[in-house]
Structure 1
Amino acid sequence: MAETINGLYKAEVIWRQRSWPSDSAVEMATLRWVDRYNNHRLFGSIGHNPPAEAEDNYYAALENVDMAA
């Protein structure tokens, strides 16, 4: 799994730009990509929702579960 995400990161961020002006430019592009990947990208395996929204829905559902006596 890590190799897949690493390859996706390289394809979407690193290889898109031929050369990078500085290390900090790579760092900022990486931070933007991670934010998009974790909070905005739609995942089919969780109902085509962003992961952050799916997590919020999960915890909201846990609060609504009745406790057994």
Structure 2
Amino acid sequence: MAESFFHLLKRERIRWQTYLTRDAARQDVFDYIEMFYNPTRKHTNNGMLSPVDYETTQRK
């Protein structure tokens, strides 16, 4: 799973970026994970639901 995550991270976010500082790179990766990857990616373990959708169904 980690390998596929890093592949997506490179393909979707950092491949075409040039960062001026390490802090800028860290912030960009953090933003990708917290704002896009975690809430929207569908996961097979969750019945092909995104984490947000899965949590919503569990609360009902």
TM-score by length of 1: 0.65
Q: Which residue of 2 aligns with 1:65?
A: none
Q: Supply the distance in 2 between the matched residues of 1:9 and 1:15 (Cα, whole angstroms).
A: 8
1:12 aligns with 2:15: no
Q: Which residue of 2 aligns with 1:31?
A: 30
Q: Which residue of 2 aligns with 1:22?
A: 21
Q: Which residue of 2 aligns with 1:64?
A: none
* Cα distance, 1:43 vs structure 2: 2.1
Can you give the 5+ residue segments of structure 1 that lack an aligned partner in the other structure?
62-69
TM-score by length of 2: 0.72
Q: Identity percentage over the alignment?
A: 24
Change (3 A) 1:25 1:5: same
Could you say which structure has the larger radius of gyration?
A: 1
Determine which structure has greater relative contact order: mean sequence separation of CA pairs < 8 Å that are 6+ residues apart, divided by chain length. 2
Aligned pairs, number: 55
